[in-house]
Structures are given as structure tokens and as C-alpha cells.
Chain A
Amino acid sequence: MKKKHSLTLSQKRTVNGYLFILPWLVGFAAFYIRSLFMTIQFSLSDLTVGVSGYSLSWVGLKNYLYAFTAHGSFKQILTSSVINMVVDVPLIIFFSLFMALMLNRKFRGRTLVRAIFFLPVILNAEAIVDAIETAAMMVATGVSSSSQEMAQSASGGIGIGYYIDLFGNLMISRDMLEYIVGAVNRITSIVSASGVQIVIFIAALQSIPSSMYEVAKIEGATGYETFWKVTFPMVMPHIITNIVYTVVDSFISSDVVTLAYNTAFSEFNYGLSSVFSLVSTVVTCAILVLVCGFISKKTFYYN
């Protein structure tokens, strides 16, 4: 009889671990890893579509050079997308944490209110947006002109500029002020972009052991103290989760991706399009690594 080959404990663990991951990994490798490598390959070559399929010819870094030195708007769009992302992410995180805290409290009709805050995520589906737009178009051809008139008439007199000057006189720095004004302008987009984040935060709040709150109560902590000493450290890991999600989400709908999409499907320049998406991926990853590295140092993990 063959001697049974025995594994060490750590080897067993490894095998076990991979067994669990395997089903997911197969799909992941087939669909995502492969398309990643194909995109890299495309970015280094000229793709021409012929009758019998496509053919690649190696051109080295030509596409990259073109994107950075000759292309008219790539650098500009990339910078503005990154800036938008950097401005939006903290606002979305604060807003969704705040909303999750509110929605986690017990009150009547809580599920309904939660559902309302999740609505934008549902209504953002492409087809629904289309349908709403068509419905609105049919009735609103006259309305749009009148609302423009209203906007114009409102801009005279006490406009936003007046308030900017007012706050400027109150010794708030100009940059801070511009950030706040920008934030106010973005309210709709921020509110509608934070549906999933709110749900993630609610789940995070739900998984805080209630015994911790009991202890805090017994020790006589105020609500404020309880938040900073119990709630906040416990949801900290999910702040990172949400940052990752928000960055991914805002990146997917950013102008760079639109540019890459148009380059590929209306100009049929697949090589250049791959360069755009690769460069912006690298930039986003760099930002994520920086931010998450900074936050995870301060993060408290339960174990």
C-alpha cells in the first residue's frame, strides 16, 4: 500500500483556502485578468479590423507618446476627472455616514425612508433614465425655456456672488469657501451617488456588538463620546470599503472613461482607447493606495 502523503498544517490550510477561492477565481481569471492583459496588449499595438477578425501590429509605446504629447484633451480631461473625484469622495463619505447614522436609529417607517434613499441607485439604470427623459421631453419642451428664464432672472440681485463676498468678509479662506460652494452645487449628484454607501454603512452599524454600547452606557459615556469611542472606530474599516467603492463608482462614470469609450467606438482607435483606460486606472490606483494607506494606519481592527 502506498504511504499516504501527509501535508503540514500550513499546507493543508493553503489547500483549503484555495479550494474555497477556486470557483470564484476561475471566473475571475477568465473574464477579468484576461481582459486586463488583452487591454495592455492592445495599448502597445495598432489594431486593425479586417474581414477575418482583427490583426495586431506591435508599435511599442507610440500610443502612449501620442496620448501624452499630441492628443488635444486627454491630459486636461484626466486632471479634471481626478479633481472631481478627489472633491466628491470625502463629501459622499461624510454624507452617507451621516445618513446611515440617522437611518440606523429606531423610528417609525424606517425601512421606507431607507428605501427612499436607495432609490437613486435603482433609478440610475440606463433604461429607466432613458424612459424618464423621454417622458419628460414630451411634456417639457415649453417648460425648459421658462425655467431658463427663471434662472436668469434669479442671477441678478442677491446671487451666489453676494454670499461669497459676505463669507469672504467673515475671514473664511477663499479656497475653503470655493470648496463649500462647489459642494453645494454638487448636492444632487452627491446625494444620488451615495445610495450604496449608505447601505454599506448601515450594515456596518448593524454589525457592531450591542454589548459595546451597553458597556459605554454603564460607564456613563455621553452620546457624543459613544460615537467617537465606539461607533466610529468600529465603522472605520468600512470607511475604506466605501472609499474604494466610491472611487470606483465615480471613476466608471467619469469623463476619462467616456473619452476612452468614444475613442474606441466612434473613432475606432482601440490602441489609443486602451492607453486612456490604462493610464487612468493607474492614476486611480495610485490615489487609492495613498488614501487607503493613510487611513488604514489609523484604522482599528477588532482582532
Chain B
Amino acid sequence: MKKLRIFKSHRLNRSVAGNGLLFFLMGIFGVLMALPLVMIVNNALKPLDELFQYPPRLFVRNPTLDNFVDLFVAMNSSWVPFSRYLLNTVIITVGGTAGHVILASLAAYPLSKHRFKGKDTLFNLVVLSMMFSWTVTQIPNYMIISWLGINNTYLALILPACSYGMGLYLMKQFMDQLPNSLMESARLDGAGEFRVYMTIVMPNVKPAWLTLAIFQFQQMWGNTGAMFLRDEELKPLQFALQQIAAGGTARAGASAAVTFIIAAIPITFFLICQSNVLETMTTSGMKE
């Protein structure tokens, strides 16, 4: 019996039927989740008469790019060109994501790997702050933003996002799992704290900060900024979408095209980051 097991042990102990069932389940969930996206893609390619067809069809019959042309023509003749909205969103998203990942991982390193006074209090405060919903603290937030004098600038959206608690929490949890001996050996070799952070800690928690980047990118991308940005030329894409969608029937084609653009970019970002997560080799080279 023992021998048999050794021979088989390079394969997973799962029957073909079990695998089939798992993939079947995954397929069902996958289809459920992919449906809205399929709808978005097809709607963006539908000519107007198909958009209003009854009963509605999921798949497009005569795909055209009319909606995109419509979008750019319609929006470029308006007050603020469409590309400006896109640029605003990109600035806000990149700023908020990069800032948050950098600040949160910097702060998470000592919280996870150093011992000093006030550490636990600080960390508990972080967890407490996450419980505090953004929607409810809108009034104090607005007051703070205008007190800082950054109302109606990109900073009003970027700065609060940089110091959100969730990223710090996530990074700390992942850094907790790094073996201390890795850092000790670097210190013995004469590396300063910042060097340890840059060359030892960050490469080893790459899956964590890529995850955080995905997460934060998505959050920033979905921001309408309606509260803080008043100037039309500062407003992000999501705001433009709301405006176009509010246009109703007349703008249905343009609205479908914008929805496609808005959904496509975070998905692309996700795909790039995820394929990088796979390439990481973690906590290798340890001999205990």
C-alpha cells in the first residue's frame, strides 16, 4: 500500500469526476459574474436600433463602432472634451494608488517588524478608523478639506486616499509572515533600515502590494469626485458617465461606449498585476 501511494503521490488525490464537478461549479459562478461584462461589451458595439430592440438580445448582430464615434463627436463639441475627463481620472487614480501603496507599505514595515512604544495603540486606531464609513463622515471630511485649502483640486481626492487604513492593515498582515531572520541577516551585512525595506521586505511581499494596488486602483477609478471638484474641467470620467447616462434615450449609444471604456481599464490593470503576482518567488533561500 505504502509503495502504491508513493507512485501516485505526484498527482493530486482527486478523481476525474470530482474535478469535473469543481469546474462545473466554477463555470456556473464564472458565467454569472461575467454576464454584466458581456452585456457591456455587446451594448457598446450595438447600433442604436439593436439597443432598443424588444425583446432585448444579449449578443450583438451587426457590430459597429458608431457609439464610440458618437461619443467623441458629441463630447468634443461640448464644453469639456472627453479626453480631459479621461486625463483627470488617470491623474487621480495614479496619484491615489501610488501614494497609498507607498505610504501604507512604509508605515506597515515598522508596525510589523519593529518594537516601539505606542505601536499597538496606533494599530488599533487604524482598525477603528476603517469601521468609520466614508459616507457618514462626509461633513467633517468636507470641512477638513476646505480647512486645508485643497477644495476643488485633485489633491482633495488624492490625499485622503493616500492615508486610508485598509492598505496599512493588509500590508502589515503580509509582512507579519516574513521570517525575521531575513531582515536580521541583511542588517548584519550592514544594510540600513530603508535599504532593508527596499531590497528585502518589498520584493518579498510583492503579491501583497500588487493586490493592494489592484484594490486601490479600482476604488480610485470609481470615484465621481462630485463632492470636492466643482470645476467642470477637473471632473473625472465617472462623473461624465453619470451625466451622459442621465441624458437617457438620446445618449444611449454614447453611454454604452463610456461604460465600456470605464470598465475595460481597471480590468486591464487587474490582468497585468495578476500575472505579475504569479511570478513572485517568496521566502525562498531560507535555511533553518
A159 to chain B, nearest CB (A): 22
- Indicate if the CB atoms of B242 and A130 lie closer than 8 Å: yes
- Give chain A's interface secondary structure class: helix
A222 to B6, CA, bound (A): 10
- Contact bitstring B243-263, A, C-beta under 8 A = 1, else 0: 001101100100110110011
B17 within 8 A of A: no
Minimal beta-carbon separation of A39 from chain B (angstroms): 6
CA distance A135 to B54 in the complex (A): 13
Asked if B80 is an interface residue, CB under 8 A from chain A, the answer is no
The interface residues of chain A lying within 8 Å CB-to-CB of B40 are 123, 132
Give CA–CA (A24, B148) in the complex, Å: 17
For A127, give the chain B residue with the smallest CB separation.
Answer: B238
Q: Scan A264-283; emit 1 where CB is below 8 A from any B CB, else 0.
A: 10000010011011000100
Q: Are the C-beta atoms of A207 and B139 separated by less than 8 Å?
A: no
Question: Once bound together, how far apart are the Cα atoms of A209 and B179, in whole Å?
Answer: 11
Interface pair A126/B110, CB less than 8 Å apart: no
Contact indicator A28/B26 (Cβ below 8 Å): no
Encoded as 1 (CB less than 8 Å from any A CB) or 0, chain B from 168 to 188 comes to 111001101111100000000
Q: Which of A86-94, A148-156, A237-245 contacts B (4 or more CB under 8 A)?
A: A237-245
Bound Cα distance A143, B275 (Å): 40
Instruction: Indicate if the CB atoms of B140 and A203 lie closer than 8 Å.
Output: no
Q: Which of B186-207 contact A (CB under 8 A)?
A: 193, 197, 204-205, 207
Q: Mark B144-186, 1 if CB is under 8 A from A, else 0.
A: 1000100000000001101101101110011011111000000
Q: B204 to nearest A CB, angstroms?
A: 8
Please state if B26 and A102 are interface contacts (CB–CB under 8 Å).
yes
Distance in angstroms between the alpha carbons of A120 and B40 in the assembled complex: 13
B20 on interface, CB distance cutoff 8 Å: no
CA distance A14 to B132 in the complex (A): 28
Interface size class of B (residues with CB under 8 A): 35 or more
Option from A17, A25, A273 in Cβ contact (under 8 Å) with B136: A273
Query: What is the distance, in angstroms, from B90's C-beta to the closest C-beta of chain A?
Result: 15
The answer to whether residues A38 and B140 also contact, given A118-B270, A237-B177, A277-B132 and a CB cut-off of 8 A, is: yes
- Which of the residues A25, A116, A240 comes within 8 Å of B30, measured between beta carbons? A116
Chain A residues touching B, range: 35 or more
B65 within 8 A of A: no
Docked CA distance A99–B28 (Å): 13
Q: How far is the CB of B281 from chain A (nearest CB, A)?
A: 8
Question: Which of B29, B51, B119 is close to A117, meaning CB atoms less than 8 Å apart?
Answer: B29
Find B282's partner among A10, A206, A248 (CB 8 Å cutoff): A206
Write the nearest CB–CB distance from B170 to chain A, whole angstroms.
6
Is A166 in contact with chain B by the CB < 8 A criterion? no
Q: How many A-B residue pairs have CB under 8 A?
A: 312
B82 close to chain A: CB less than 8 A: no
Find out whether the CB atom of A135 lies under 8 angstroms from the CB atom of B104: no
Q: Are A21 and B12 in contact (CB under 8 A)?
A: no
Which residues in B have their C-beta under 8 angstroms from that of A240?
173
Whole-angstrom CA separation of A23 from B138 in the bound complex:
23
Given A113-B26, A188-B32, A207-B283, verify A21-B106 contact (CB < 8 Å): yes
Bound Cα distance A274, B39 (Å): 40
Query: Are A122 and B110 in contact (CB-based, < 8 A)?
Result: no
Within the complex, which residue of B26, B110, B283 is in contact with A20, where a contact is CB–CB below 8 Å? B110
Q: Is B255 a contact partner of A20 (Cβ separation < 8 A)?
A: no
Instruction: Please pick, from A27, A122, A125, A238, the residue contacting B162 in the complex, using a CB distance under 8 A.
Output: A27
A131 contacts partner chain B, Cβ-Cβ < 8 Å: yes
B162/A252 in contact, CB under 8 A:
no
Which residue of chain B is the closest to A23 with respect to CB atoms?
B103
> B103 to nearest A CB, angstroms?
4
Q: Contacts A31-B163, A125-B238, A220-B9 given: A17-B52 contact, CB under 8 Å? A: no
Question: In the complex, how many angstroms separate the beta carbon of B222 from the nearest chain A beta carbon?
Answer: 3
The reply on B122 being an interface residue by CB < 8 A is yes
| Residues of B participating in the A interface, judged by any CB pair closer than 8 Å | 2, 5-6, 9-10, 12-14, 22, 26, 29-30, 32-34, 36-37, 39-40, 43, 51-56, 103-104, 106-107, 109-111, 114-117, 119, 122, 125-141, 143-144, 148, 159-160, 162-163, 165-166, 168-170, 173-174, 176-180, 193, 197, 204-205, 207-208, 210-211, 214-215, 218, 221-222, 224, 238-239, 241-242, 245-246, 248-249, 252, 255-256, 258-259, 262-263, 266-267, 270-271, 274-275, 277-278, 280, 282-284, 286
The 6 closest A-B pairs by CB, nearest first: A27-B163, A125-B222, A17-B110, A35-B140, A203-B207, A24-B107
